């Protein structure tokens, strides 16, 4: 049996209730909306690359869970705040301004 332990706008994390420290007793296949995602052998794993505010049917072994990713409230781009990616420029104030606008 798997449980959802975290949901973000672009990922969902799952945990097995199997009483083992890290690896499951047997590998299992993971499907998202009927499409093969990957073979997994860990008790905790994350599916990345999902779309915000979208429902997914996730099949993990014999378990089927329906999950919905969170919506994105605001998208901010660092380049819009004048951040320079040159390895030299100090961008602290510009990044702080961006963070101050986050809710």
Does 75 have pLDDT greater than 90? no
| Contact (Cβ atoms closer than 8 angstroms) between residue 37 and residue 30 | yes
Q: Mind listing the pLDDT tens digit for each residue in 4-39?
A: 999 999 999 999 998 888 898 899 999 999 999 999
Share of the chain above pLDDT 70, in %: 99
CA distance 48 to 9: 10
Sheet of 12-16: strand order equals: 2-7, 12-16, 44-47
Residues 6+ apart with CB under 8 A from 75: none
């Amino acid at each position: 049996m798997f449980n959802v332990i975290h949901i973000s706008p672009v990922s969902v994390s799952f945990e097995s209730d199997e009483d083992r420290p890290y690896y499951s007793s047997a590998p299992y296949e993971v499907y998202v909306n009927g499409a093969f995602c990957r073979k997994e052998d860990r008790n905790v794993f994350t599916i990345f690359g999902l779309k915000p505010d979208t429902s997914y049917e996730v099949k993990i072994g014999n378990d089927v869970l329906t999950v919905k990713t969170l919506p994105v409230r605001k998208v901010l781009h660092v380049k819009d705040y004048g951040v320079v990616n040159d390895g030299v420029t100090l961008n602290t104030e510009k990044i702080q301004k961006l963070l101050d606008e986050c809710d």
